[in-house]
Chains A and B, each alone.
Chain A
Amino acid sequence: MFSVWEDNMKKNIFLVSVVFLFFSALANAHGPVRQKVKEEIKINAPAEKVWDIIKNYDDMSWLPAVASSKTDKGNKKGSVRVLTLKDGGTITEELKKYDEKKMSYSYKISDMSNAKTINHSGKDENVPVLPVSNYAADLEVKAKGDTSVVIWKAGYYRAYMNNNPPAEMNEEAANSSVKAVFTAGLENIKKLAEK
């Protein structure tokens, strides 16, 4: 009797593993490809003046969508910044590099709140406020005589890491969202600097 039970258990375990293998293979079938966006803007103001607007990592008021921002260690490497957006969402970012001389810094998104939950192929999926994952960005001011250029760029993956992403979490969604943020930010920096 015991051996029958054991045999049944074995069968069940076997079945469970087959089903599990099948689903994990499905979920993992080819991964997303890393994406990037690079935007720049010419500003009729000296680089120092432009850098003054963006150099404080704890102040992202120059980005229209941001309501408030705070950091734990200011411009020190490893400083964690929490952005609260005007629509209530939050984005947490870690400062990876800060170079006063080159007027540039790099940061990475470590956490985000969800903008909404959608149903995709029978499962609930959380769409983050910026539909990306593994996002790393650089912001830099370059002097061009009396004028300057601000370059903002980022590398990231789409938000949905499995195969067949929903429209809200695919590459197009990621790219257009990042582009929109960059364009709005750069245009506002220009406006502030050329005042």
Chain B
Amino acid sequence: MMIKGMINATGILLFSLTFCVAAEPYAFITNQLGDSVSVIDTAQAKVISTIPISGKPAGVAVSHDGLRVYISTPEAKGIAVLDAVNHKLLAQFSVSSGALGIAVDKTDRLVFVADWFNNTVAVIDAGTFKVINTIPVGKSPSGMVVSSDNKWLFVANRLDNSVSQIDMETLRIRNTTKVGEHPFGLTIDAKDERLYVANVESDDVTVLDAKHLKRLQTVKVKTLPYAVTLALNDSRLFVTNQDDSSVSVIDTQTMQEIAVIEVGDKPEGISTHPNDKWVYVANWFDNNVSVIDAGTLQVIDTIEAGEGSRAFGRFISR
């Protein structure tokens, strides 16, 4: 009887633990000046843990199974790997001198690290943490995104004003196309049809046909657009305008800027919650995170993070 009760209790506990992980995705915010990562419990809208990470953490990529977080640490010339469930540092190792942009493939087996100085993308085996390949790309590669079908890796080459499409099978560039001036962050829709690229210097977003890398449109936004994310079934694109303390909202049907939402100062990283409705923005100057409701286009929360919250990459487990 007692044993049975204990088993039941354990069962309930296990169930609720699993439920917690599934129901409360975390946002991992890199605090570059604070040498730490703030873990936000999105259900409670607050930081529940702060993990110290040396090397000025900047880029971030959460694995698709939600178990790991990969973080670039430019000053330590490498990356850090976090346990996304227990919020612990698993490993930290060097990759190359200009590690910044970071992404994970859809199978969670490969981690890509763009090297800002060496104009390469390092391919790391997520199991062994070894660099298994180095892909030469354009000048100062920054943001990266993997297509939903896991066939392509896209890289924004900031100083080349271009985007490269890399074949994930051969790990070679298949195509490169010119975009606006100084492309930085980029994202792709769920159908792998359109690629959206934020161009820091030309204050606009280039919309590319993801398959053939054809330029479809250029949409003006505000000053210094930095990174992008999609929400509400890919119907709305959100763009952080670093020098305008705002987020531009673009209707992806009409390709018009339909709103400009005021957030904190120097907004940089931006990611969408798995509910497809909440958009999180890391404000570098203000050390906090704005939460936007993609439907009402209102800021519904502001969460304090650490010094120099940057969070460049896909920082929410979904």
Contacts and interface: CB of A to CB of B under 8 A. Distances in A.
Q: For chain A, give the interface size range.
A: 10 to 19
Interface stretch (A8-16, A23-31, A58-66, A176-184): A23-31
B33 A28 contact: no
B74 A30 contact: yes
B118 A31 contact: no
Contact of A33 (B33, B77, B266): B33
A142 interface: no
A36 B97 contact: no
Task: Please report whether the interface of chain A is mostly helix, strand, loop or mixed according to DSSP.
Answer: strand
Interface residues of B, number: 19
Interface in A137-154: 138, 153
A70 interface: no
B98 A28 contact: yes
Nearest to A33: B56
B284 A155 contact: yes
Contact of B97 (A25, A34, A106): A25
B285 A153 contact: yes
Contact of A97 (B56, B74, B244): B244
Which of A25, A30, A38, A96 counts the most chain B CB atoms within 10 A? A30
A36 B34 CA distance: 12
A20 to B, nearest CB: 14
Contacts of A138: 265
A33 B307 CA distance: 12
Given A28-B97, A30-B75, A96-B223, A106 B33 contact: no
A136 interface: yes
Contacts of A96: 223, 243
A18 to B, nearest CB: 15
B265 A153 contact: yes
Contact of A29 (B33, B117, B223, B266): B117
Contacts of B266: 155
A30 to B, nearest CB: 6
Nearest to B266: A155
A31 B74 contact: yes
B308 interface: yes
A35 interface: yes
Interface of A: 25, 28-31, 33-36, 38, 96-97, 106, 136, 138, 153, 155
Interface of B: 32-33, 56, 74-75, 77, 97-98, 116-118, 223, 243-244, 265-266, 284-285, 308
5 contacts: A28-B117, A30-B74, A96-B223, A97-B243, A153-B285
Given A25-B118, A28-B118, 12 more contacts: A25-B97, A29-B77, A33-B56, A34-B308, A96-B243, A97-B223, A97-B244, A136-B243, A138-B265, A153-B265, A153-B285, A155-B266
